[in-house]
Amino acid sequence: MLETSARLLRLLSLFQARRYWSGAELSERLEVTARTLRRDVDKLRSLGYPVNAAAGTGGGYQLGAGTTLPPLLLDNDEAVAVAVGLRTAASGTVSGIEEASVRALAKLQQVLPTRLRRRVAALESFIEPLANTGPTVDAETLTAIAGACRDYEKLRFNYQSREGTASIREVEPHRLVHTGRRWYLAAWDSDREDWRTFRVDRIEAGLATGARFRPRKAPDNDFAAYVARSVSYAPYPVQAEIVLQASVARAAERVAPAVGTLEAIDEGTCMLRMGANSLDHLAIYLVLTGFDFKVREPVELRERIRWLAERFSRATLS
């Protein structure tokens, strides 16, 4: 059994990782009796952590929002600064930390007192970042979805497809993925009984249903790869497989995740899978990458490139 201080830190870490835990689950994780667990919970409460007890068979606990900020080694001003910084990072202005920023913000929002939330909102009202080339996503929406992913809680929301069709969706949210310009939710669609990818900026009036679900295995064990395929390949009428004469690392500098997926063939070549609305769009994009390439499929793309090459050649004749 862990020492009391180490056990309390472990218990707090569990509360912050997931919203609700049954008493039996916590006792098993900490390898303690139900009586010892109750004492540990009382000690956290005495330190200022708002641990709420749930009634029912076996009981349960969750870390709630308190009237004062728990002792997280942050004073109020520091907590506000961290919240504002995380929201800014979540908007995509700091590359590579967007997803981690949303997860951290979800944890902080869970215990941030109302008066400090108002201070954060006031600061945000007077902060104007330079225009973003991608669509705007509300940080509150992101943190709400991140919380539902963390707590395995179903969501119901209005969604507008790329064609403009509105629908009501009920999903099991699993992961938020940021492509560099847009946020996507990877979720199991309960009505369609299949995985779906949703652009977060098209989600409206998202509501947690209160119903919980068992987490599912990611498609091909990789949510990021699934989202990349869903947004860069699957939706388009024209799809292609291209061998690029470049390593995956070099190709990734030119090919964004939202444009196509890359897979190494060897040290000097890689496979690009991408889609577009027309053969011309594919051909022009491939030329502009600056890499030599070979079209594996479709055959129609090879023919279109030959036709375009002939036109360009004639244009250079005096």
- Per-residue model confidence (pLDDT) at position 196: 93
pLDDT range class, residue 292, cuts 50, 70, 90: very high
Chain segment 299-309, per-residue pLDDT in tens: 999 999 999 99
- Per-residue model confidence (pLDDT) at position 55: 62
The predicted model scores a pTM of: 0.59
Mean pLDDT of 208-234: 86
Per-residue CA distances from 23 to 30, 122, 190, 241 (Å): 11, 39, 29, 52
- Per-residue model confidence (pLDDT) at position 279: 94
Are the C-beta atoms of 40 and 29 separated by less than 8 Å? no
* Dihedral sign computed on CA atoms, order 59, 63, 69, 72: positive
As a whole number, the mean pLDDT across the chain is: 83
pLDDT range class, residue 131, cuts 50, 70, 90: low
Helices 98-111, 139-151: axis angle to 10 degrees equals: 80
Are the C-beta atoms of 176 and 184 separated by less than 8 Å? yes
Most confident listed range (119-128, 229-238, 264-273): 264-273
- pLDDT surpassing 70 at residue 120: yes
8-state DSSP, 74? -
User: Regarding beta strands 51-54 and 60-63, do their DSSP bridges make them parallel or antiparallel, or are they unpaired?
Assistant: antiparallel
pLDDT range class, residue 58, cuts 50, 70, 90: low
Per-residue CA distances from 265 to 221, 226, 249, 272, 275 (Å): 20, 20, 12, 10, 20
- Per-residue model confidence (pLDDT) at position 206: 66
- pLDDT surpassing 50 at residue 95: no
- Per-residue model confidence (pLDDT) at position 135: 63
Residue (of 121, 129, 138) closest to 80 by Cα position: 121
- pLDDT surpassing 90 at residue 49: no
Indicate the SS3 state at residue 279. helix
What percent of the chain has a predicted confidence (pLDDT) above 90? 32
pLDDT range class, residue 233, cuts 50, 70, 90: confident
**51: exposed, middle or buried (Cβ count in 10 Å: 0-12, 13-18, 19+):** buried
Are the C-beta atoms of 211 and 153 separated by less than 8 Å? yes
- pLDDT surpassing 70 at residue 44: yes
Count other Cβ atoms within 10 Å, centred on residue 180.
13
Please state the length of the chain: 318
Cis status, amide bond into 298, omega within 30 of 0: yes
Most confident listed range (1-15, 114-128, 185-199, 221-235): 185-199
